[in-house]
Structure 1
């Protein structure tokens, strides 16, 4: 079978992070993260307040699940196939979440789990389509401009990991380490994608006590790599736990106190500041999904706390 135009483009394009790794590995990691979140959701009290002010456990799960009126993966596939143009301006994610949560305020736990199961099936189908149709690297619209379909699919693990911790007050167990690891990879991958998209040459490691992930952006592309130690050469953000890195990036924990207590440490602040230009392209930080927070977190905390570590 002759290669498609998308496959020709993929062969000649710069590196694109986790999307360039075997699709089977990407799919396995994404589905493992989804299953880990579902397991936590099954053990929660949907009526209990979550870690997010004003949101119950039901609200947290509902906005991540798949509902007929919120066909995110269908939209991404249509854009990757060229059947639909990306939205001309970024989606107001907070407004969209509010509408979705309100629409399912009476959903039972069984309803929520069924909607999560539908989301898992759609995620698996999206990976299959990306591979079989050669559209894994096709651009899809995001909060910060076009990024590959596979990059978008991998970024879902970030939200799952952050919101898994949000369910703690609702009776959920600690998030599975594999879920946290997938979320950390997604954070590194998206930050690399943003840096590459804006022509930056920069790299950073995101490290917990057992290691983590690093990205390097250059020549319009980016790579990601696993780090298996708590320290590495070059710019790095190191934390007392991998989960703390996710919490800091998502605005769940205030960064300056973490730095003051040395629960969060920055290596090579000057190198981290190479990412600061991304702040001009990512509105509404901190908060929101990985596509909105990743760049601002690394650049912003470097600027804000350079004095603290002197």
Structure 2
């Protein structure tokens, strides 16, 4: 399947009211910052070989990793997007090594700097609305600048869960919800980019989020909230939002989650329409989980909707 250049919206969360996008993104950042303040930086996280310091370091803002500056430069046309996705594991490893001696105060200051830069980036889109939907490079292809801002919440939510063994405590529901929304949004973007017709939900207690891509050349995608209860569309239902995020990021084995019915696919035939997307995102977080799920479901359906996202999250 060839990639399709998307020329008309809607653009998922990027088409939502600007103030709602800003409020959700900053609330997710603030929630992670509060959790990080309780972390023992030297305690091991649930990521093998990474302590709390390493997890926080690669999410914070440092002069040697100006992510938001790069995205704004691309949106304004001052920098061309990279021809190929960066090898994020290598980037993360270099960043963690460079700041391996950072103390708690330095880590929290770097998170505060990241928030200030995110505020400045949103302010830039307010001053120049053309930046909001300008294409920027991501690991799943060109997406609007505001899509990138929203996707940060996915990484914050997954890594907040990673920090639990370091004393962070449970992430608040609003952070997990923002992470699920980001997962639905970028999956919708990916479906639209490759001309896949899909209407799929990520259901969690209390609701969740869905996305719809019409499958027509050059059109965008929608995201929408799901009502509480059994989803009435092709969906993956999780017993908890944390389980859905963990499965999508490869933190928990999907076959075991399916066997315990912590994850329940609904309408497998509908979910199967998303299968071709795996061919376009090799090596991204979530891909291994999808392939394991496909094997677990065998000839019945072979697919769930836990798709990889644009994220810098360590596999």
Scaled by the length of structure 2, the TM-score of the pair is 0.89
* Match among 215, 218, 235 for residue 211 of structure 2: 215
Q: Alpha-carbon deviation of 1:96? A: 0.2
User: Residue 140 of structure 1: which of 114, 124, 136 is its match?
Assistant: 136
2:48 alignment partner, one of 50, 53, 77: 53
Q: Secondary structure at the match of 2:59?
A: coil
Which residue of structure 2 aligns with residue 256 of structure 1? 255
In 1, Cα distance between equivalents of 2:272 and 2:239 = 22
Are 1:183 and 2:174 matched, yes or no? no
C-alpha separation in 2, matches of 1:119 and 1:139? 22
Provide the C-alpha distance between the structure 1 equivalents of 2:281 and 2:152, rounded to a whole number of angstroms.
18
Number of residues of Structure 1 aligned to a counterpart in Structure 2 = 292
Q: For the residues of structure 2 that align with 1:308 and 1:104, how far apart are their CA atoms?
A: 48
> 1:217-256 maps to which residues of 2 (within 5 A)?
217-218=213-214, 219=216, 220-256=219-255
Q: TM-score w.r.t. structure 1 length?
A: 0.91
In the TM superposition, residue 299 of structure 1 has moved relative to its aligned partner by 5.5
Highest RCO, 1 vs 2 (Cα 8 Å, sep ≥ 6) = 2
Shift of 1:60: 0.1
TM-aligned CA deviation for residue 81 of structure 1: 0.2
Q: Indicate the residue corresponding to 1:307 in structure 2.
A: 298
> What is the RMSD of the two structures over their aligned residues, measured on CA atoms?
1.7
**CA distance in structure 1 between the aligned counterparts of 2:300 and 2:163, rounded to whole angstroms:** 33
Q: Which runs of 5+ in 1 are unaligned?
A: 1-9, 288-292
- Contact kept? 2:254, 2:289, Cα under 8 Å: no
| C-alpha distance in 2 between matches for 1:212 and 1:308 | 28
Could you tell me how far apart the structure 1 residues matched to 2:148 and 2:229 are?
28
Q: Distance in 2 between matches of 1:305 and 1:233?
A: 23
Q: CA deviation at 1:302?
A: 5.3
Q: For 1:51-200, list aligned pairs within 5 A.
A: 51-134=46-129, 135-200=131-196
Structure 2 portions without partners, runs of 5+:
1-5, 302-315
Structure 1 equivalent of residue 10 of structure 2:
15
Give 1:5's aligned residue. Answer: none
SS in 1 for 2:298: coil
Q: Report the Cα offset of residue 280 of structure 1.
A: 1.0
CA distance in 2: counterparts of 1:261 and 1:298, whole angstroms: 16
